[in-house]
Amino acid sequence: MSIRSDSVVKHMGRLNHTVLFIEKTILVILMIGMLVFGFLQVFSRFILKAPIGWSEELLTYSFTWASFMGASAAIYTNSHFSVDLVTKHFPDKLLKATRLFVWVLIVLFSLFLLVMGVRLSIANTIQRMNILPISMFWAYLSMPVAGLFIFIHGIEKTMEVILNIESEPLEDDE
């Protein structure tokens, strides 16, 4: 590996760790928020007999954001399920080609998610949530943000396959 490609890989690794930190931070905030608002919803509905209308809406869009952020973080950590029953018997060259093909598809899908998510977000700027006085733009923004994060993760993973590099373990994994 050349000095230039080594530098690019190092910068991509730092960028990916930063994106992963952002994803984890967003996920922690969303999960705590969903726990609190879910508890408030149950408490107000069954104890006070007066449900809080906005909490259900907030939970729904928080769950949407958490799903997209979790999917993106799972891309980086290779936590999505995979079936390697067939590929584990592939010769090395075919396995590398298959892995490269998969990562290229993921990168292309992330670009689709990014472009279509931006279009959808912009198209729903005027629309408001049912109860909360918030633009639906913020709910739909989870798609392009996740698309961008998946793209960043996918580019690094594609580079790792091309350059035959093993992923660095995360601090949590050590």
Radius of gyration in angstroms for the set of CA atoms belonging to the chain, rounded to a whole number: 20
110 found inside a domain? yes
Q: What are the C-alpha distances in Å from 111 to residues 3, 51, 67?
A: 29, 40, 18
Mean pLDDT computed over 74-95: 86
121 found inside a domain? yes
pLDDT for position 132: 87
Q: What are the φ/ψ torsions at residue 85 (nearest 5 degrees)?
A: -55, -40
59 found inside a domain? yes
16 found inside a domain? yes
Mean pLDDT computed over 144-159: 96
Give the structural domain span for 151.
Answer: 3-167
pLDDT for position 31: 96
**Are the beta carbons of 129 and 61 closer than 8 angstroms?**
yes
Report the number of distinct structural domains present in the chain: 1
pLDDT for position 131: 87
Bigger pLDDT: 50 or 81?
A: 50
174 found inside a domain? no
Please list, in sequence order, all residues whose beta carbon lies within 8 angstroms of the beta carbon of residue 154, skipping any fewer than 6 positions away: 75, 103, 106, 107, 110
85 found inside a domain? yes
Q: What is the pTM of this model?
A: 0.87
Residue among 106, 141, 100 at smallest CA distance from 121: 141
173 found inside a domain? no
172 found inside a domain? no
Query: Which residues in 78-112 are b (16+ Cβ under 10 Å) and which e?
Result: eeeeeeeeeeeeeeeeeeeeebeebbeebbeebee
